[in-house]
Amino acid sequence: MNVKQSRIKELVTELNIASEVYYSGQRLIMSDHEWDEKFHELEVLEKETGIVLPDSPTVNVSHEKVLGAKEKHEFPALSLPKSKSVDDVLKWVSDKDVNVSWKLDGLTLVVTYDNGHLTKVVTRGDGEVGSNITHLADAIQNIPKAIKYDGHIVIRGEAVISYSDFESFNSRCDNVYENPRNLAAGSCNPLSQADAIKDRGLIWLPFAVVYADMYIDTWSDRMYWLRNQGFKTVDFETVHFSAALPSVIDEWSNRVSNNAYPVDGLVITYDDSNYASHGTLTGHHDTRGGFAFKWADEKADTVLKNIEWSVSINAINPVAIFEPVRLEGTTVKRASLCNLSECERLDIGGIGTRLSVIKANKIIPKVVSAEKVGEFLIPDHCPVCGGITRISISDLLTKVLVCTNKNCIAKNLCKMSRFVSKHGFDIYGLSEKKLMSLVNKNLISSSEDILDLTIRADDMKAALIDEDGWGEKSIGKLLRAIAAAKTINAEKFLYALCIPMCGVDTSKLLAKHYKIEDFLSPDIWSDPFLVELVGDVKSSELQKWFSNENNKIFVKKLLLACDIKYPSKAGSKLFNMTFVVTGKLNHFISR
């Protein structure tokens, strides 16, 4: 075996392993930038040698590992040809009308309706066979159970999670995901339960009507038809003259930083549906199905100056501080290293380590490679409170550093921010900056102290009256807001407790069926309905949290201070009973 053949085999193995990990929502073992470079190297070598291995990613659709119930696609979900060259795009477009849309960075789902009813939701899988995840449809926004169309229709779209929802989820979850795409893929696992992923902010955005019993002439009209059916679709723009396309691509590229959802390029589609449907198949590409334009990453080399350790509720996260570089028109001097596993993968060293940095998808500064200098030092003590640290392994086999001090100020500040947030006690005017001010004046040290401020009004005024941002009027206003917040809905109360994996939607579910006091009794953990309601993992987390004596004391103290409002059916005599209704149902016209 010669050098080129050996390299082809090596690249195929590396890329396939990286793809399987990537599409299963696990931690990254190879950056997108590195994957693209190796994929391109493989394409060149295959062209030079004429050797294409059967399992080469150049002839196989990148896919998530197919688990659970397998479902053969009615229409194969093929990959798009791609390029980083605008000239290649123009050559493909020729003189045809086209549409420019985002290449959303999530997980492709194929959704089918028959006679107006949702019949199945299937992941892309290997392009031929995917996994049936219809049971998760309720947890994914923008997949209605019924539409006003009586025929058979197959729609392809992308399940994505916004940057804000991703940050919100990661801030309250021990299983820290690398990026929104990994969280979307991990959520759309056939083994997932709808209730367990409902609060993650997943939304499905259609980008193609693959088949419909009726015929619609153009791709753009198909998108407008979907919008008239109530779907939110991928954003797009129709371009009638190929000469205008380069400027349109530039305009869209400049809008990436303001996009709510992650994207990794643009998709160009022919508007003429008939012309697009008569393409040929080359490898795993449909030559007229669309063309993916991917941005060439602007890369800069720099030198590591320091590693800062940022404390959140559940982890201490490393942040690389380096010599400033210019990327995508902005100055960049720091980038998150996510966790210890990512530092190991990159082989980060000490001060002086040479780094290559890009802006992933033109937005997020990211270290893509490193030339190690010195040793990577993991702190033994929390940078904020001085508490002892330890390395924890998450369910995703990701190494994270955690502070073991339960009274860590930084961790508690994060918890207090959630406690007073709009989904929690909703105390208007109590920003993180003001919380820190209260901590520094020894007025509070944890969430439970916040509600006590109403009985310590004199102490508060004496400590803060001369401080910037505080005055008698603002202090009085805050105290009234705290007093008002003590009357609180049960779901907000539960969310404010910062229970792992208990987000907004899970809190709502629990509040509908249980009273807060129920969780203080050991009897609840033998209730099979709880597991049915939120799943094994969340049920276990709830039991672990409420079994902690300090947490019990915390909840009991809050219950004494608060007036909890429950949904009308919580705790009622009819709760959890099943009724079977027989007879004929008549529908009457509304008057």
**Contacts with 118 (C-beta within 8 Å, 6 or more apart), sequence order:** 111, 112, 134, 137, 143, 144, 145, 146
Write the CB contacts of 505 (distance below 8 Å, at least 6 apart in sequence).
195, 198, 199
Q: Comparing C-alpha atoms, which of 106, 8, 114, 108 is closest to residue 56?
A: 8
Residue from 103, 120, 359, 508 carrying the catalytic annotation = 103
The full DSSP string for 348-368 is: --STT-EEEEEEETTTEEEEE
Alpha-carbon radius of gyration of the chain:
27
Q: Which residues pair with 74 in a beta bridge?
A: none
User: What is the three-class DSSP state of 23?
Assistant: helix
Residues 203 and 176: beta-carbon distance below 8 Å: no
* Helix extents (H) in 243-382: 245-254, 273-276, 340-346
Note if 103 is an active site residue: yes
In angstroms, the CA 220 to CA 205 distance is: 15
Residue type, 225: W
- Torsions phi, psi of 240, nearest 5? -95, -15
d(CA 464, CA 454): 14
Q: Which candidate, 40, 61, 158, 64, places its Cα nearest to that of 105? A: 158
User: Per the structure block, which two tokens stand in for 198?
Assistant: 């409902």
Residue 544 phi, psi (nearest 5):
-60, -45
Provide the pairing of β-strand 300-311 with 316-327.
antiparallel
Give backbone dihedrals phi and psi of 422, rounded to 5 degrees, phi first.
-65, -25
Distance CA 395, CA 375 (A): 27
- The kind and range of the H/E element at 3 are helix 3-23
Chain-centre distance for alpha carbon 140? 12
Report the distance separating Cα 271 and Cα 249, nearest Å.
17
Q: Which residues are catalytic?
A: 103
